[in-house]
Structure 1
């Protein structure tokens, strides 16, 4: 049995299927997806159906595009001009697909493999134990009758920094932003939301979340997506960037967790 972690699919199902064929994926293997299963690419509906259909073979964490889909479905947000979500929203199996997506976590940890998967990252000020605990706070609300209220309050950049004293929707929004939107932050965990460039163009006072020498998860193996401009290169021990911009004409990347071997399939081109 092997475990393959794959970067942001974003509706690029053909490339995902080609990648699984490349690694000779079998019913004994496990597939991890780093979030952003949907949006921008051509086959978001089919990607959701495929992922849900894998049952116990798949582990998924939620990305910002996945949460955006759920918010639109709830009536808490309007689609943007670039969204490609209409097919899901009008599908006959819309409700079971969205309910399955809403059950997915923000963080997945495998104690046997000693790997943790998140969409965007874990802020340098949190231990893995804290990250697990905080992710569960959001997950409990997402899976509850209060999910609609959560989506109403989810959007926004404030608070921009974690404080243990945060409560209510501010607390849940801050946790969500760390796990699903973070790229650059300060050593104290202050978030910078505008920059989407590579690490060589960090805004003044900010650095990639994984780059701080006193990061509390330094010794933990982490796979993440979200940041296509890294081009799969975090250049940091134990931190593996897997979003290589398939939907933008790059590649779709998988890492076999047991030996950290990388596999890639070229995008057919959507940008």
Structure 2
């Protein structure tokens, strides 16, 4: 069985189909690992959700910030934004089925060799802690009080991990790590102000995967979320959001002892910083 990790699709359904043709994807023998942000900003979020859901066990999806935003909008705890392209999902006859399926997707997936997440991990978390923290949010998403969770999900604080964090503050920090983080200071304080290219950030900031004494440094982590970073491999991490939405590429990374990157050029549906 071949496993391909796929970068942020964000509703660029036609590009996804072209990429799957290029890798000669076989639903019966291959598996796709999606790094999250299946939806939003691109033109065919509804078609993307329906298709990936239809793949069953041939597709593994972790949740990204845009996926959680869709859920928060659908359950009336976040407003539609100007650039959102979520209305076709919200108006679809199968909306409830699609949202329920999305709500039951994980934040963190792994096998014996690789870990999959959307954004990053704080330096204080080892593998066991990452699993435990992801499970807390997954339980909140799948539990009876999931609509209340979305009411408290958004916010930039707290910015530093502590074992003393509890309740919605703890859940919010977990969500922000798995779905939003890019840069931190050397002590692991999350920064949400800068999201640009590596090397142009303020001097006190560094990408999460370069932090010293990172307890998850031995893990091979595949992530997306950071289109300005592009394809990047360092410190056992593989960044594969190559900016399909913005006119970059959509990337598939074939996992194995010899990693193989396959990408297609995309025309783009949004203009950066506009």
TM-score, length of structure 2 as denominator length = 0.96
Task: Report the equivalent of 2:260.
Answer: 261
Task: Report the equivalent of 2:182.
Answer: 183
* Alpha-carbon distance between aligned partners in 2 of 1:269 and 1:152, rounded to the nearest angstrom: 32
Where 2:161 maps in the other structure, the secondary structure is: coil
Where 1:136 maps in the other structure, the secondary structure is: helix
Residue 92 of structure 1 pairs with residue 90 of structure 2: no
Task: Report the equivalent of 2:220.
Answer: 221
Give the deviation of 1:262 after TM superposition.
Answer: 0.1
* Alpha-carbon distance between aligned partners in 2 of 1:204 and 1:174, rounded to the nearest angstrom: 24
Where 2:263 maps in the other structure, the secondary structure is: strand
Give the deviation of 1:252 after TM superposition.
Answer: 0.2
Task: Report the equivalent of 1:143.
Answer: 142
Q: Which moved more, 1:184-193 or 1:54-63?
A: 184-193
Task: Report the equivalent of 2:231.
Answer: 232
Where 2:110 maps in the other structure, the secondary structure is: strand
* Alpha-carbon distance between aligned partners in 1 of 2:222 and 2:188, rounded to the nearest angstrom: 19
Equivalent residues, number: 268
Task: Report the equivalent of 2:20.
Answer: 20
Task: Report the equivalent of 2:159.
Answer: 160
1:15-164 mapped onto 2 (5 Å cutoff):
15-26=15-26, 27-111=28-112, 114-164=113-163
Where 1:31 maps in the other structure, the secondary structure is: strand
Give the deviation of 1:237 after TM superposition.
Answer: 3.2
Where 1:253 maps in the other structure, the secondary structure is: strand
Task: Report the equivalent of 1:5.
Answer: 5
* Alpha-carbon distance between aligned partners in 2 of 1:20 and 1:126, rounded to the nearest angstrom: 34
Give the deviation of 1:186 after TM superposition.
Answer: 2.0
CA RMSD of aligned residues (A): 0.9
Give the deviation of 1:188 after TM superposition.
Answer: 2.3
Give the deviation of 1:269 after TM superposition.
Answer: 2.3
The Cα offsets for residues 121-177 of structure 1, whole Å up to 9 and x where unpaired, read as: 111221111111100000001000111011000110111111110011000000100
TM-score, length of structure 1 as denominator length = 0.97
Q: Is the 8 A contact 1:62 1:104 kept in 2?
A: yes
Give the deviation of 1:220 after TM superposition.
Answer: 1.1
Where structure 2 has 5 or more consecutive residues not aligned to the other structure, the ranges are none
Where structure 1 has 5 or more consecutive residues not aligned to the other structure, the ranges are none
